[in-house]
């Protein structure tokens, strides 16, 4: 177990989610000697299969193990020291047939799910936890469940009376963050693509930018991760079933890759230590 070691924990829903929003800070933290832990709620059984080397019909029944291996490769690229699974099934997108499976994460008993995450928190002792906001970034049922579970576990892990049967000492994380995509940065990046004659990130005319971004005034923390753009790109490439090789994010010119992944932004949801109003470090107040 860790005592004084700085530990960063990211709580995500599926393999590949760790790259978007936290790939840079996880790689940066690892490079700085901070212990990094990734908790993934599911193995992504309901995901797509874009890997051209796989037969989708044959691979469907073992997609969970395929995606776990992809995640392990991505985690190694990002320098993630520990990988944990909560052990639930992928719920699929909202409204999909998979939603009704009782094994799904979003159908899980909230107290049970909280207890599973509390056990991991008490074991690895993170000082900082990062997860999604209450919208789950873009409304995926499992992302919303991850938010709910992480917020509940943040407090429960430090409460001696909660989950006392775990035979682990209580541990109170000190900072909780939500991933947040800056609306102005998203729009600026779209403009850069247009200037180069490249397609915008989302070509659907009905796409609602507000659904996946937040106003800049609610962002509290901006972390410079430009140095780790290549690692993040490499981790993305590891998720072959979910991110096809011709995906726009993987075919951008190098300077636009740097622009796209230069900064990761967050909303500080809780802090039990004094912090500046605006931060450039998830561990501000803890170092």
The full set of domains in the chain, from first to last, is: 7-184+213-271 (3.40.50.10320)
- Mark the ranges of the chain whose per-residue pLDDT is less than 70: 1-4, 201-206
Residue 47: per-residue pLDDT? 94
- As given in the structure block, the two tokens for residue 116 are 């599973």
Distance CA 96, CA 98 (A): 5
The values of phi and psi at residue 4, to 5°, are: -95, -5
pLDDT number for residue 2: 41
pLDDT at res. 241 = 97
How confident is the model at residue 5, as a pLDDT? 83
Beta bridge partners of 39: 11, 84
Q: Which long-range contacts (CB under 8 A, 24 or more apart) does 140-144 make?
A: 140/13, 140/91, 140/93, 140/94, 141/91, 141/92, 141/93, 141/94, 141/99, 141/104, 141/105, 141/106, 142/13, 142/14, 142/41, 142/42, 142/90, 142/91, 142/104, 142/105, 142/106, 143/13, 143/17, 144/106
Task: Show the tokens assigned to 259.
Answer: 């622009």
Confidence (pLDDT) at 268: 98
pLDDT of the residue at 204: 65
**pLDDT tens per residue across span 250-287:** 788 888 878 878 999 999 999 999 999 999 999 999 99
User: For the whole prediction, is pTM greater than 0.85?
Assistant: yes
Which residues lie below 8 Å from residue 48, measured CB to CB, with a gap of 6+?
Answer: 241, 242
The whole-number pLDDT of residue 128 equals 98
Neighbours of 152 (CB within 10 A): 18
69 token code pair: 């291996």
Q: What is the DSSP string of 101-142?
A: -TTBSTTS-HHHHHHHHHHHHHHH--SEEEE--TTHHHH-HH
pLDDT in tens, 157-175: 999 999 999 999 999 999 9
Show the DSSP H helices in the chain as ranges.
Answer: 23-31, 56-59, 63-78, 110-124, 136-139, 141-156, 183-195, 229-238, 254-260
| pLDDT of the residue at 193 | 85
pLDDT of residue 139: 84
- The candidate with the shortest Cα–Cα distance to 50, out of 37, 59, 41, is 59
CA 124 vs CA 17, 38, 216: distances in Å: 21, 11, 33
Return d(Cα 11, Cα 177) in angstroms, integer.
Answer: 10
């Amino acid at each position: 177990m860790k005592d004084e070691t700085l530990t960063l924990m990211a709580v995500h829903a599926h393999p590949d989610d760790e790259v978007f929003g936290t790939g840079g800070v996880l790689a940066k933290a690892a490079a700085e000697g901070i212990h990094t832990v990734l908790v993934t709620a599911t193995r992504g059984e309901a995901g797509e299969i874009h890997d051209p080397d796989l037969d989708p019909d044959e691979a469907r029944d073992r997609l969970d193990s395929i995606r776990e291996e992809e995640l392990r490769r991505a985690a190694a690229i990002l320098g993630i020291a520990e990988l944990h699974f909560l052990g639930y099934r992928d719920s699929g997108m909202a409204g999909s047939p998979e939603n009704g499976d009782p094994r799904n994460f979003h159908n899980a008993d909230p107290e049970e799910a909280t207890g599973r995450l509390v056990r991991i928190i008490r074991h690895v002792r993170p000082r900082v936890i990062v997860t999604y906001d209450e919208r789950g970034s873009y409304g995926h049922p499992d992302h919303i469940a991850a938010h709910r579970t992480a917020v509940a576990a943040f407090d429960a892990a430090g409460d001696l009376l909660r989950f006392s049967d775990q035979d682990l000492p209580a541990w109170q994380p000190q900072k909780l963050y939500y991933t947040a995509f800056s609306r102005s940065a998203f729009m600026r990046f779209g403009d850069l693509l247009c200037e180069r004659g490249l397609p915008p990130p989302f070509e659907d005319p009905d796409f609602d930018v507000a659904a996946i971004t937040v106003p800049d005034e609610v962002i509290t923390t901006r972390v410079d991760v430009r140095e780790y753009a290549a690692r993040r790109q490499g981790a993305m490439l590891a998720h072959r079933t979910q991110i096809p090789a011709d995906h726009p994010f993987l075919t951008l010119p190098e300077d636009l890759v740097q622009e796209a992944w230069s900064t990761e932004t967050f909303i500080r949801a809780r802090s039990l230590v004094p912090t500046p109003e605006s931060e450039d470090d998830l561990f501000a107040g803890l170092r």
